[in-house]
Amino acid sequence: MPRKIATGINGLDQLVGGGFPEGRVILVIGGPGTGKTIMCGQFLYKGIYEHEESGVFVSLDESKDHFYSEMQGFGWDFRKAEEEGKFAFIDATRMSRVAMLREKLDKEGRSLHARLRGKQLPIDELIKDLQVKIHHTKIDRHAPGARAKRVVVDTLASLIYRIPDPVERRTAVVDLIESLADLGVTSLVTTELEYLGLERNAVEEEFLVHGVIMMQTLFSGGTTTRAIQVEKMREAKVNPNLVPYSIDQNGIQVFPNMPLFGEK
Ligand SMILES: Nc1ncnc2c1ncn2[C@@H]1O[C@H](COP(=O)(O)OP(=O)(O)OP(=O)(O)O)[C@@H](O)[C@H]1O
Ligand SMILES: [Mg+2]
């Protein structure tokens, strides 16, 4: 059984059976605006300042400045963490742009081969960069062997939903997830929900990861409720219920014992 590490999100440890399993890959699925990026930022920031675990954020859809200013709204100063060597940001938005270009050319039926020479999706490069950053990001600069323990990839959706070819898409996802698992870090990978309903089809990525957490916004009787559910967590006794969570100026908080919609 892997050791459990604190998620940094109030109430979530209880939901996932005591924390995230160390060294594993957890998928966070949610629609737009459900708080995926905030959850990931909180996981890394609390990791650094409350649990002595440094971290790396790989962004596939937003710039460093944008991420830093968004996180500053919760009082999380990632710029300072970076200056202290405890945090690194990898801007991998170029990968999503290449994927987008490929999608566009594909739709127009133009020859991919000629136009995209040298513009393959550089997943290997990203992983190499990540390895280097993991080794150079540490809580104590002088501790030999110390390295980053937490990694976030936000969001897989920017990359994979733009790869039209199913084989290529699957290869990219498998490569990325398996490489993360081999890095010996605990990773959160976000993705978007294509379809949500009672008969939601599982997305491919769900089968490849150790755990799956779903975040959603429910609409009922004119009100909206944010709800979270652990869909899967191997080797852990989880609370499988759909429970409420909130987002406020302190970040995300999960209420594992509160019923949805205030039922008795
Ligand atoms: N201080 C705050 N108080 C309450 N809600 C907030 C606050 N700051 C942000 N939010 C909410 O957080 C949500 C955005 O969170 P976040 O960017 O993490 O979502 P996301 O799932 O990553 O979205 P996207 O799919 O666009 O990347 C919005 O719904 C916004 O209303
Ligand atoms: Mg986001």
Reported as a single tens digit per residue, the pLDDT across 33-82 is 999 999 999 999 999 999 999 999 999 999 999 999 999 999 999 999 99
pLDDT, average across residues 141-165: 86
Question: Tokens 């919760």 — which residue?
Answer: 74
Of the given ranges (54-58, 111-115, 162-166), which has the lowest mean pLDDT?
111-115
Check residues 5 and 2 and name the one with the higher pLDDT: 5
Q: How far is the CA of 156 from the centre of ligand 2 (A)?
A: 10
The number of the ligand 1 atom at minimal distance from the alpha carbon of 217 is 29
CATH code: domain of residue 185: 3.40.50.300
Residue 247 located in a structural domain: no
Residue 234 located in a structural domain: no
pLDDT of 200-226, one tens digit each? 666 778 888 999 999 999 988 888 999
Which residue type sits at 177?
A: I
Residues in contact with ligand 1 (CB, 6 Å cut-off)? 30, 32-38, 73, 247-249
- 177: part of which helix (H) or strand (E)? helix 166-182
Residue 233 located in a structural domain: no
Q: How far is the CA of 219 from the centre of ligand 2 (A)?
A: 21
- The domain total for the chain is 1
pLDDT at 264: 46
Residue 262 located in a structural domain: no
Residue 250 located in a structural domain: no
Residue 152 located in a structural domain: yes
Range of the domain at 114: 23-213
Our mutation pick for probing the ligand 1 site, out of 37, 69, 72, counting the most ligand atoms within 8 A of Cβ, is: 37
Give the confidence band of 111 by pLDDT, cuts at 50, 70, 90.
low
Q: How far is the CA of 43 from the centre of ligand 1 (A)?
A: 15
From CA 204, how far away is CA 92, in angstroms rounded? 22
- Write the CB contacts of 68 (distance below 8 Å, at least 6 apart in sequence): 78, 79, 89
Residue 227 · residue 10 · CB < 8 Å: no
pLDDT of 88-105, one tens digit each? 999 998 877 777 777 777
**What is the layout of strands, in order, in the sheet containing 251-254?**
87-91, 55-59, 150-154, 186-191, 25-30, 211-220, 223-233, 243-248, 251-254
Mean per-residue pLDDT of the chain: 88
Task: State percent of the chain over pLDDT 90.
Answer: 64
Residue 67 located in a structural domain: yes
Our mutation pick for probing the ligand 1 site, out of 9, 27, 29, 34, counting the most ligand atoms within 8 A of Cβ, is: 34
Residue 17 located in a structural domain: no
From CA 49, how far away is CA 177, in angstroms rounded? 27
pLDDT, average across residues 94-121: 66
